[in-house]
Amino acid sequence: MKLLFSQTMTIVRHGFKIEWANPERWLSPILFAITMLILFSFSVGTIEGPDTAKLLVAETYLTAFFSLQISFARFLEPDQQDGVFSLLRTYPLSGSAWYLGKYITVMIMGLLILIPTIFLTSFLHAKSGVSLMSIPVITVAVTALSGMAALGVLLSTMTMGSGSKQILYPLLYFPLTAPVLISAVEASKSILVDNVNLQSLMSSWLGLLLIFGVMSFTLGILLFGELVKAE
């Protein structure tokens, strides 16, 4: 148990060192998010009227989805160099510790993309009077992220050996996370437009997000160990 914890922490700490050593890895998704938001503004124009909140929410989550996908798809790249991943498999490293360590790292990296995206939309569209920087909306967003991150780690591991992973990753990732996008957008919309509180959302959209999160995480813990075991 102690070793499991220390291995998890080693993976997390090392993960951050890698990100720190390769700043472009976390900077590029954020830059991508900014680019997306600018393009949205150009294509949609000034947002006003009754649909303001709806459009802003849609814009934010779509942007976050795309930049998170970029970050998740490239997540295991440092481990692929110089036979690191194979060597990790020969180490007495528990599959759960490995998955958990990667999950925590991805989750924190995801937050560093998600929160700035939400902030940027609210900042750039401050004139519309709708702000997504509220505790309930961020709770919904983080719940959505927890499921996506769990699935993201698993998918990166699966597509690692594939030659066409650049196109394959989004092709698998977006259909699988479609319910997350729907739920996150709908939940945030009801918070902003209808002033619904989180409690009543628990029996609907937020509940669905939680189920997705729990399911992805359970599958991740169960299947990741299987994927890295000696074949």
Minimum distance, C-beta of residue 209 to other proteins, in the bound complex (Å): 9
Q: How is residue 49 annotated by DSSP?
A: S
Minimum distance, C-beta of residue 61 to other proteins, in the bound complex (Å): 14
188 HSE (CA, 13 A, CB side): 30
Minimum distance, C-beta of residue 100 to other proteins, in the bound complex (Å): 14
Closer to other proteins by CB, 37 or 150: give it.
Answer: 150
Distance CA 133, CA 41 (A): 19
What is the contact surface with other proteins in residues (CB under 8 A)?
Answer: 3, 6-7, 10, 14, 17-18, 21-22, 78, 81-84, 86-93, 151, 154, 158-159, 161-165, 168, 171-172, 175-176, 178-179, 182-183, 186, 189-190, 194, 196, 203-205, 207-208, 211-212, 215, 219, 223, 226-227, 230-231
Minimum distance, C-beta of residue 127 to other proteins, in the bound complex (Å): 27
Closer to other proteins by CB, 19 or 59: give it.
Answer: 19
Distance CA 101, CA 4 (A): 10
The amino acid that residue 204 corresponds to is S
Nearest by Cα to 206 from 187, 191, 182, 193: 187
Q: How is residue 164 annotated by DSSP?
A: T
**Mapping DSSP to helix (H, G, I), strand (E, B) and coil, where does residue 74 land?**
coil
Closer to other proteins by CB, 87 or 126: give it.
Answer: 87
Closer to other proteins by CB, 108 or 158: give it.
Answer: 158
Distance CA 74, CA 63 (A): 17
